[in-house]
């Protein structure tokens, strides 16, 4: 699937930091049961790669991606784990080259118009605005719509359940990335029913 098609599957992509491998599959099952099939697992913990592999094996109906790809080697590791898409916080020539050699599509991060121009030159027109809140949020996305009418975004970073609605109302936003779907307290307690309820609520958000 192309990254635009992946971003169109649900209004929210859960951005997940899995610290305990035992949480990976029940967490994914809860989110998918709630209606969110696309999951981003950030490569911020020692078990992240194994978590991606476990989720892929247990939930073939889900679309599992690897986030926080910051080195070319991260692409290879994510590919070995079976990641179906990748996400970067920014974009360098080295990361763009790694993306061209990867078997999965990339959602590259940008924060400024200059970075957006560079990403477009590298062939990307679906981008992650990151960190969205610090980059100017809804106002920034409205401003970018004029000079970059073809660009579409998945704003991530500081997006909450309350502000997701404002982002999703914008015509240049395909979806948002959110970490509120897996609160640390619910993870620690194994409250999969509570996480499923959060996912169901997020899956019902309307896009403009």
Question: Annotated catalytic, 40?
Answer: yes
Nearest by Cα to 87 from 32, 15, 20, 22: 15
Select which of 61, 79, 128, 150 is catalytic.
Answer: 128
Bridge partner residues of 152 (DSSP):
126
Closest residue by Cα to residue 199 from 7, 8, 14, 6: 14
Q: Residues 62, 76: contact at Cβ < 8 Å?
A: no
C-alpha distances (whole Å) from 78 to each of 40, 100, 115, 167 are 11, 14, 24, 29
Catalytic residue among 20, 40, 61, 115: 40
Q: Is-contact 196 177, C-beta < 8 A?
A: no
**Residue 150 falls in the annotated catalytic set:** no
* Cα 66 from Cα 86, distance rounded (Å): 5
* Active-site amino acid positions: 40, 128
């Amino acid at each position: 699937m192309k990254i635009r098609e992946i971003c169109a599957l649900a209004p929210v992509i859960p951005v997940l930091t899995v610290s305990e491998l035992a949480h990976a599959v029940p967490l994914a099952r809860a989110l998918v049961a709630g209606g969110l099939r696309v999951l981003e697992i950030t490569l911020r913990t020692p078990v992240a790669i194994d978590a991606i592999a476990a989720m892929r094996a247990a939930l073939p109906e889900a679309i599992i991606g690897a986030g926080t790809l910051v080195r070319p080697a991260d692409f290879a590791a994510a590919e070995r784990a079976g990641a179906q898409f990748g996400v970067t916080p920014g974009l360098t020539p080295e990361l763009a080259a790694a993306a061209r050699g990867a078997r999965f599509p990339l959602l590259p991060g940008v924060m400024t118009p200059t970075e957006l121009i560079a990403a477009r030159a590298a062939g990307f027109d679906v981008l992650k605005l990151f960190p969205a809140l610090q980059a100017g949020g809804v106002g920034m996305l409205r401003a970018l719509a004029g000079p970059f009418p073809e660009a579409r975004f998945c704003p991530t970073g500081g997006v909450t359940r309350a502000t997701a609605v404002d982002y999703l109302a914008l015509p240049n936003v395909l979806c948002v990335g959110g970490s509120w779907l897996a609160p640390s307290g619910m993870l620690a307690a194994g409250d999969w029913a509570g996480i499923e309820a959060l996912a169901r609520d997020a899956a019902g958000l309307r896009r403009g």
